[in-house]
Structure formats: structure tokens, C-alpha cells
Structure 1
Amino acid sequence: MFKRRRPAIQVKTAEQVELMRAAGLLVGRTLQVLRDAVKPGISTLELDAIAEAHIRDNGGVPSFLGYHGFTGTICASVNEEIVHGIPRPDKRLRDGDVISIDCGAIVEGWHGDAAVTVPVGEITPELQRLLDVTEAALWRGLAAGRAGARLTDMSHAIESYVRSQGPYGIVEGYGGHGIGTEMHMDPLIPNHGEPGHGPVLVPGMCFAVEPMVNLGTKDSLELDDGWTVVTTDGRHSAHFEHTFAVTEDGPRVLTALDEGREWFAEPDGERKS
């Protein structure tokens, strides 16, 4: 009997990481434009058009458009929709909603991938807390992605932080992934698990880390459209994501405009208020 071999993880050169930084910056700037465009009354398809125009006008190609038949440049997931929401003309945002906007771009054959959950107008303190916890969990996961660490150290950092903050549901079956010359590459990075397992991280590896956290149950289901994933109890979800590179000096967050310096400057990983 042969032992199953673990899939190889693509390791980039310093020059290739710089190309991924170009793609990452385009994604980060596109998400900034979209965040500013979110308001009550706008449709998710209108946001999608803004994203596609910004990516193409700045020398990139949308990663998501046409991916296994997906029809959007962004995934636009509102309220109880966790991920993979299809942009639609009839899906108009309302005051008090939250929307996860997931965006990817290709520059010179290299991918960037990131997501942010944005409040629409005024949201409840409970929802704001959900967004804050999920974003902070993302940065805990990124901080754990250091050379010499194991893959599941990132998973454990995310889970342990979320568990410490309240009875939130951590979505299973979806998670982060390798990224580089393809948008989705080995390995899968769950948002839960024990530390100390999986491959050792080395400089040049690049990953997308993306916690998905629910107000209620962790359970999810895919709708009949074949894409949209929702919570089974109808309660809200939040989703944040960044692409980063493992370096000798720590994680370099390729889709953050400042490469994560503001977040990592705080000893506990929290952003300055």
C-alpha cells in the first residue's frame, strides 16, 4: 500500500510575490471603492459593475467572472448569505443590512483575493460586534502565518479567538486556500482545528485566509442557484479575507493597502482605534 502524498504548495520567488502584490493592491483598492459605494438602494449588480470597471480600467482581469460559470465580478452576500452570493439587479441594499463583498483580480497571471463585510447605513450593535469579531479573527489567523509555523496554527488562531468572544457559529466546509497562478490552490485552510498539523510554512508560500462567522448556528446550505451559501437558521453572517505571503520577516498582507502594518503594530493584533 502506498502512502498518499500531501499536495505540493506552490512557493513563489521574491519577484513573483511582487506580481501578487500588484494583484493584491488592485483588489484592495477595488474593495475600497466598493465600500464607499455601499448605500441603501444600490443593487448588488450595480456594485458588480463598479468592481469590473475598476479592475479592467487598472490593468487587471476579474478572477471570479466566468469561474465555473459564475456570472459576477464579485460575490455579494447579504445578511444571512454567507458566501458566493450572485450579483442581481433586484437585490437592493436596505438600511441595517450587512453585505460581504468578495473580490478577486488577476495581474500578469497572478491572483489576489480578499473580502470585507460592510454595514449598510446604521446597523445594530450586535451586528457591528459580529463584524468586529470576524475581522479581528482574520488578523489572528494572518499573524499565525509565520515561517516555521504549521498550517493549522492559522486555523486554531481563528477558532480560539472567535470562541473567546461569544457563542458564534464558525462555518465549516468552507475556508481559506492557497493562491498564486490560480485563484484556488492547495491547501484548504479551515477556520477551526487543533494547532501543529499540516505542512510547515516557508517563505514564498501564499495563502488566502477567510473566516466566516455566524450570529447563530454554524450550519449552512447551498441554495438552488448552485452558488449562494446561507445560514440554516436565517441569522446574519460576516466574512473577511486577505491574501498574504509568508516571509522571513512575518506575514506580508498583499491585499491590504498598508500590508497589514496598522494591525500588526498592536501587541494583541487589534487595530488602533
Structure 2
Amino acid sequence: MFTLKNKNERSPQLRKVDQYGEYAPFPGVTVVSACYPEQKEFCEAIYKVLQSNSFITHYYSPLPADSYHMTTMSLETEQQVGDIWDQFISTNLPHFKKIKQTLQKFPIYPSIERMEVFVGRCISLNVTLPKDHAAQIEETAEALNIEHTIPPIFHITLAYSRPNKSISHEESAQLQAEIIKELNVIIKQTLFPLKIAEAKLCYFNDMTAFIPWNAEQNPFIHRKHPLHHSSGLTQSTQENLNVEESLYETTTLSS
């Protein structure tokens, strides 16, 4: 469906989290089902647990609660495409618009049957959907010829690891156990199935916000210089994607 990147093109070396533990520019487009504000109380409880624990925040940068979402189709990022990013998005606007129109015609309203905490290079909730909901996502993606963009495991990313943070195996095991224990308290208090929002085409500038996109215009075209992040973690006018490449790696946090 999409124009493949020229192998000779230089890929920008973008990091989702900078050396200070703040979210850095990482532009992309995706299809997500937002958890917030549909499940505001749940999201804010999760964020509070992560953000208030100094042991956790030493190694991870929690995402803002209003950014929590489940990716249904992970489309493209500037990191993947390279220096032709702006041109790539502009050229493929008709394809992105078709995705949006298909989602409008055949809306997807996922609900979560159960979830499990995952701790590795990110902290996430791996989620299980009803079979018919998962099948609808697959059918929609196949109709658009983008079935390869469906995540291998549906998940909600809560935090990314901070770079250059070495950790011993003993401390890593302690950290993992503490995160799982704390988050499981909230999960056990949650009533399932947990309904989340309709899947929508979105663009993002970093991992802290996902903005619904009509694919009428290139949202990145006016960015003449690299984006600059603010001093805070909650950039509610900016956003995310592509959690997959870090989701299923080792629990070692050093880079």
C-alpha cells in the first residue's frame, strides 16, 4: 500500500526518551483506541502509582494518563521512513484518508477482557480482546492491505525506560516485582470487560499524545526544524507511536 523507503536513504536516529528522561520528538501516524477519558479513573490510578514511586521513575519515564491507548494498527514513523518523511506523508495522503474512511464506515469499538503487566524496556499492559473484536481488527486491516501493522500482542504502553540507566539483575528483578505488584492491585479492582474508545486514525509528534487526523493535510509539513520538547512529561498537544519494537525485549534496562 505504501511507498517503500529507499534503502539508501539515511534514517534519523530518533529516541522516544532523551538523556534527561523527557519525551523527545518521534513523529508518526497510527490507529489507536484511546483509554482516556473513557476509563479516566483507571488511567489516572495507574499513572499515580508509577509517577509517585521514585524507584520506578529512576528507570522509567511514565507517560501521561491521557495518552494511554491500545494500538490497533501501527502504521509509520519518521524513524522508519527516514529523511523523506514529509514527502512520504504528503504522497500517501490518499491511502491514509482511505484508512480513516474505512474506520468510519466500519467502526471498531474494542473492549478488554483481561490484562497482564509486562515489564521490559517499557512498562505495558498486555491485553486480551474478545475474539470477534480481534477478528474485526484483522478483517479491517486485511481489507486495507495493512494486516502486517497489527501488533503481535495488543497492549497499552504506560512508560518507557530512561536511556543509559544500568541496573543489576537483582535490582531489575526487584523493580519488576514491585511494578507488577503495584499495578495488579489496580487491575484486581477493575471490572471487565473494560470498554475503550473507537479506533481512530491519529498522528503524533512524540509518545505523549495522539491527535485524531482526517488525513486532509500533512500535519508535519510546517515542521522546518526538529521538534523541541518541553520540560514536562505531559505534552497534551503532541503525541506517539510504534511501541512494538521495544515491547517484547529483555528486562535489562541498560542501553
Q: Same fold (TM over 0.5)?
A: no
- Report which of the two has the higher share of helix: 2
